[in-house]
Amino acid sequence: MNRIEIDKLTKFYGERQVLDQIDLSVSAHEVVCLIGASGSGKSTLLRCINGLTEFDEGSVRIDGVDIYDPSFGRTGLYKKVGIVFQAYNLFPTMSVLQNITLAPIKVHGRPRAEAEAAAMKLLGLFGLEQYAKSYPEQLSGGQQQRVAIVRSLATEPEVVLLDEVTAALDPELIGEVLKIIRDLKATGMTMVIVTHEMAFARDVADRVCFLDNGRIIEQGEPRRLFSNPENPRTQKFLQRIIESGRLEAKV
């Protein structure tokens, strides 16, 4: 059974069709990267997976259960699927530790001591324990984004969605965030990653999907897709990327 099963997903913003009959399944422990031009619908697709954005047609299932199935309750879906955004969106009035333990304590009712112990363990795992008492604005962008990733892991999700998590970072900070994602892959986490870092996508993805105008027009194993794109639009998109220097010439 697939961990994520997206079936004929269609989404309109007013008159404008943003997602057009998207079919996508992601099996457990798989890492799928979504690439595509700005406005092609990558973020929208990602947000449909955890119910942040409502869609018009089709369905999304997690472990075979429709995300709108009552068995999820109000919070079940958010526990199973974590998401991280481009702008980190940490809560500035809370310390790192409070940011991480907020959902476990207030949403999932875990005792504070237990939630804090678990959070410290997670922070330690990613070399961030010394920032537990810091406030987000005291951290660099890369540190904040790593904390945001840890926050999304605090509810022990089975799927993590990452939306251009390095796009707001200075180049020298991108590496530390990409490393944490690689570590996460090593733990067997199922991930859907929207990214403009093509070299990273080629490296970490099991599969890359190219979105164009709300459709997945090509997908496949990264090395194949990057070196031998079949669809002319994919070719054009990758050509532009290569010209802008964000992907080393074909391997």
Residue 42 is a binding residue for ligand ATP (CB under 6 A) = yes
Binding test (CB under 6 A) with ligand ATP, winner from 39, 73, 175, 188: 39
For the segment 62-91, give every residue that binds Mg ion (CB under 5 A).
Answer: none
Closest CA to 89 of 136, 34, 142: 136
Binding test (CB under 8 A) with other proteins, winner from 28, 37, 65, 87: 87
Under rule CB under 5 A, how many of the chain's residues touch Mg ion? 1
Binding test (CB under 6 A) with ligand ATP, winner from 4, 18, 77, 149: 18
Closest CA to 210 of 72, 68, 22: 22
Q: Which entry of other proteins, Mg ion, ligand ATP, none binds 38, CB below 5 to 8 A by partner kind?
A: ligand ATP
Do residues 60 and 9 lie in contact, with contact meaning Cβ atoms separated by under 8 Å? yes
Q: Which entry of ligand ATP, Mg ion, other proteins, none binds 94, CB below 5 to 8 A by partner kind?
A: other proteins
Residue 78 is a binding residue for other proteins (CB under 8 A) = yes
Q: Is 149 exposed, middle or buried (0-12, 13-18, 19+ CB in 10 A)?
A: buried
Of 39-47, 64-72, 226-234, 236-244: span binding ligand ATP (CB under 6 A): 39-47
Binding test (CB under 6 A) with ligand ATP, winner from 24, 41, 191, 222: 41
Beta bridge partners of 65: 62
Binding test (CB under 5 A) with Mg ion, winner from 43, 50, 99, 145: 43
Residue 146 is a binding residue for other proteins (CB under 8 A) = no
Residue 72 sits at the vertex; the CA angle it makes with 74 and 207, to the nearest 5 degrees, is 115
Q: How far is the CB of 100 from other proteins (least distance, A)?
A: 10
Rounded to whole angstroms, the Cα distance separating 110 from 221 reads: 40
Backbone phi, psi, residue 5, to 5°: -135, 105
Do residues 198 and 35 lie in contact, with contact meaning Cβ atoms separated by under 8 Å? yes
Site map (CB under 8 A) of other proteins, residues 12-51, x = contact: --------------------------------------x-
Helix (H, G, I), strand (E, B) or coil at 203: helix
Q: Are strands 159-163 and 4-13 parallel, antiparallel or unpaired?
A: unpaired
Task: State which residue, 13 or 91, has the beta carbon closest to ligand ATP.
Answer: 13
Do residues 32 and 191 lie in contact, with contact meaning Cβ atoms separated by under 8 Å? yes
The contact set with ligand ATP (CB under 6 A) reads: 13, 18, 36, 38-44
